[in-house]
Structure 1
Amino acid sequence: MPKAPSQPRQGVPENYEGVVNLITQDYAQLSAGFQQIARFLTQNPNVVALESINALAEKCGVHPSSLVRFAQHLGFSGFKHMQAVFQTRIATAAPGFRERIRALDSELSRYSGEGPLGHLKQLVIRDMAALEGLLEGVAEEDLVVAAELLATKDTIYIAGQMRSEPIAQLLRYLLTMLHRRVVLLDPAGGLAAEMAETMTDRDMLVAIAFRHYAKEVVTICESAGERSIPVIAITDSQLSPLAKDATVLFTVPEDEYTFSRSLAAPICLVQGIAVATAARLQPDKQEAPRIPTVTEILRNRAARRTPQTARQ
């Protein structure tokens, strides 16, 4: 049975963070249509700030009147009133941020429908926008806490399936090169959930999932949360099922692509987290933190063995 639309509330969120917090609080009780709008608003705040209600309704897949009713449910007088909060977010962001967003939108319109090269250019421009958003959306304190967990916990368990699997594989590689003990909860063999049950409070979990969220990853994350095991969650919004159990939450909003959603921003985020961990593990180094490659490790091992061979 569909959920009945909830009643409008008293009071208005004063800023974008207030809107997101309110949506997160109410999400489970919203109707299916309102949940669809909620996901769009939290994943595309720049688009919401800059485009008309008709354009947003088309992208969101709803009638414009639904956006008005959703805004009123949150306590606003109408959609324009709510949109002003999103516009204030951009106005108070880093200098030039709004201009960069408009420039990227302009570039996208230039390269629409121009064959294979045009498609490539569109993908590159969208990835540029996603990376710009990553700079605005990741807090330094979250990177510090994540690096501390990854540098100090006994074993790091990583869960990422379907489209998130390449991200999980890269993180395992980078952390292994930093000599951390890592367990990839690979679904092959059907033992990922059972392997996750071996986690203790000396360990931690990195859970990676985007819509449509891999059920096994969600289950593993919920189990870790129930046992008070620290969780770093990498997902698409505060409405993700991973968010409620996250010790550190990294959100990477996703744009729609014709074939798939891009991995550029989450891959860059994982690399940034790994470099922050390297810096935490290498506090005495004067130069920038380094993550050695397999080739460098093998070369160093060979160099250490050479003097021993010479003495023999």
Structure 2
Amino acid sequence: MPDPAAPQDYDDLIRLIHERHDQMSRTFQRISVFLTRNPNEVAVRPVTAIAGRCDIHASSFVRFAQSLGYQGFKELQLVFRSRLALAAPGFEARDTALSAGLSTPGNRGELGLLADMVLRDIAALQELLNNISQQALAETTRLLQAADTIFLFGQMLSRPVAELMRCQLVMTGKRCVMLGQSGGLSAYIASSMTSRDLLMAISLRSTAAELLPILGEAEARGTPVVAIADSTLSPLAKAAKVLFAVPGHEGSLSAALAAPLCLAQALSLGLAARAGQSAAAPQIPGITTIRAAPRTGPGPGPGY
């Protein structure tokens, strides 16, 4: 018989997973991370498909659900489906239609891959709007504005988000230091952080080993941390003053980056608005003219 106390609300379920995560087996911890990273996937995919994506036997998902008080995985999945029906109406129908299209011979080409990514990003963007609070956004822009120097960290699939933030923050006049590209010296560079600075840590899909000592430096020096991660179970959660959990999806090469990139731009624009750069419609200045340096000797002209 199912436990009547088994969570029927998504937030209650995630809270229970958090409470038990540290005491779970390694397999159950991997399942927990997948569930929090990919709530839309969990809502619409059969357990065999989900298990295949994790390289974990489907029976482990059933036992995981039972450990939380459910009769089986389908009962746990209903909680994710209820959340999805409210968060992104129509997603399940679009996903079913896409899956049917991809299963049709001749539709497995590049257009099908593009359609798959677009669908996932639409759902992720909708989820971003539903999950991110005004309080978290306001606190982050306040921290960005107050920071003497903003240290940014993002590697592999997280790198584009960190680079976009650096570009836009520099354009607003902030001093930025990009970590993670210094030949193994990131922790030493991070040791120059102070309580007047800010660490923006971005970790999607996995947490780089190089990030952990940087978080240690931030804690030791009282440097506030703002994190963008794909799960509330990320190691960043305990270190972050503000955590933006932006679930994506699991894939060997792909990543749903539309949501974290959109969030990064919103934070930069929020900072521009706080700095008085047209608060009604903040703009980040761009380079409109590039002047050629004067020629000092023989050589090809400016059109070379």
TM-score range normalised by the length of the shorter chain: 0.7 to 0.9
1:68-105 Cα distance to aligned partner (Å, 9 max, x none): 22122223343333233223323443xxx231342144
Q: What is aligned with 2:230?
A: 236
1:159-185 Cα distance to aligned partner (Å, 9 max, x none): 112232222121111001000121112
1:222-270 Cα distance to aligned partner (Å, 9 max, x none): 3313443211101110111111111111122222335332433222221
Corresponding letter in the other structure for 1:159: F
Q: In the alignment, is residue 250 of structure 1 matched against residue 241 of structure 2? A: no
Q: What is aligned with 1:90?
A: 84
SS in 1 for 2:177: strand
Q: What is aligned with 2:201?
A: 207
Identity %: 44
Is the contact made by 1:101 and 1:129 (CA closer than 8 Å) also made in structure 2? no
Closer/same/farther in 2, CA of residues 286 and 148 from structure 1, 3 Å limit: closer
Let me know the Cα RMSD of the aligned residues. Answer: 2.7
- Structure 1 stretches of at least 4 aligned residues deviating more than 6 Å after TM superposition: none
The 5 Å alignment of 1:224-303 reads 224-282=218-276, 285=278, 287-295=280-288
Q: What is aligned with 1:3?
A: none
Instruction: Note the C-alpha offset of 1:146.
Output: 0.9
Q: What is aligned with 1:57?
A: 51
Q: What is aligned with 2:302?
A: none
Instruction: Note the C-alpha offset of 1:64.
Output: 3.2
Closer/same/farther in 2, CA of residues 102 and 139 from structure 1, 3 Å limit: farther
Q: What is aligned with 1:308?
A: none
Give me the whole-angstrom Cα distance separating, in 1, the residues matched to 2:272 and 2:18: 33
Instruction: Note the C-alpha offset of 1:38.
Output: 0.8
Closer/same/farther in 2, CA of residues 235 and 199 from structure 1, 3 Å limit: same
Give me the whole-angstrom Cα distance separating, in 1, the residues matched to 2:133 and 2:97: 28
Give me the whole-angstrom Cα distance separating, in 2, the residues matched to 1:286 and 1:266: 23
Give me the whole-angstrom Cα distance separating, in 2, the residues matched to 1:87 and 1:163: 28
SS in 1 for 2:135: helix
For residue 107 of structure 1, the aligned residue among 98, 102, 120 is 98
1:37-76 Cα distance to aligned partner (Å, 9 max, x none): 1122111222323344444334443333322221222233
For residue 160 of structure 2, the aligned residue among 144, 163, 166 is 166
Q: Unpaired runs of 5+ in structure 2?
A: 292-304
SS in 1 for 2:89: helix
Corresponding letter in the other structure for 1:170: L
Corresponding letter in the other structure for 1:118: G
Is the contact made by 1:50 and 1:87 (CA closer than 8 Å) also made in structure 2? yes
Q: TM-score, normalised by structure 1?
A: 0.81
Closer/same/farther in 2, CA of residues 59 and 191 from structure 1, 3 Å limit: closer
Corresponding letter in the other structure for 1:103: R
Is the contact made by 1:225 and 1:246 (CA closer than 8 Å) also made in structure 2? no
Q: TM-score, normalised by structure 2?
A: 0.83
Instruction: Note the C-alpha offset of 1:216.
Output: 1.0
Closer/same/farther in 2, CA of residues 194 and 182 from structure 1, 3 Å limit: same
Is the contact made by 2:205 and 2:250 (CA closer than 8 Å) also made in structure 1? no
Is the contact made by 2:141 and 2:271 (CA closer than 8 Å) also made in structure 1? yes
Is the contact made by 1:177 and 1:294 (CA closer than 8 Å) also made in structure 2? no
SS in 2 for 1:75: coil
Tell me which moved more, 65-74 or 142-151: 65-74
1:110-162 Cα distance to aligned partner (Å, 9 max, x none): 24543233333333333333323322332222111111111122211111122
Is the contact made by 1:206 and 1:231 (CA closer than 8 Å) also made in structure 2? yes
Corresponding letter in the other structure for 1:121: A
For residue 68 of structure 1, the aligned residue among 62, 69, 81 is 62
SS in 2 for 1:136: helix
SS in 2 for 1:121: helix
Is the contact made by 1:222 and 1:242 (CA closer than 8 Å) also made in structure 2? no
Tell me which moved more, 81-90 or 269-278: 81-90
SS in 1 for 2:226: strand
How many corresponding residue pairs? Answer: 287
Is the contact made by 2:215 and 2:239 (CA closer than 8 Å) also made in structure 1? yes
